[in-house]
Amino acid sequence: MFLAGCAASADAPPRPTTIHGVTPGHKCETGDTDQFLGQATDGESGPAILRVTKAAALRWAPPGVMLTMDFREDRVTVRLGPDGKITAIKCG
């Protein structure tokens, strides 16, 4: 009775499963990302970068923050300058 609320709807599409850094249907492409360079981050920049790059995951990289070295073809990494503006956008 209580678990009925947790069941997936029959009309809902299945969520893609990420396996070893690969989400089906998502492979990061940075071809059109120059438009974001120099912009301040806001609530809309992250979703817009995900749309443009076709990535499934977004990782913000402020200055001085250590990042893992693992490569994920479905992830985009957005590097930020000390002023909080976007300095680079790379896949992985």
User: Mind listing the pLDDT tens digit for each residue in 34-79?
Assistant: 999 999 998 899 999 999 999 999 999 999 999 988 888 999 999 9
Q: Inform me whether the pLDDT recorded for 5 exceeds 80.
A: no
Q: Inform me whether the pLDDT recorded for 90 exceeds 90.
A: yes
User: What is the pLDDT confidence band of residue 1, given thresholds at 50, 70 and 90?
Assistant: very low
How would DSSP label each residue in 56-75?
SEEEEE-TT--------TTE
* Domain residue ranges of the chain, discontinuous segments joined by +: 25-91
The pLDDT value given to residue 23: 77
Domain 25-91 has CATH 3.30.10.10: yes
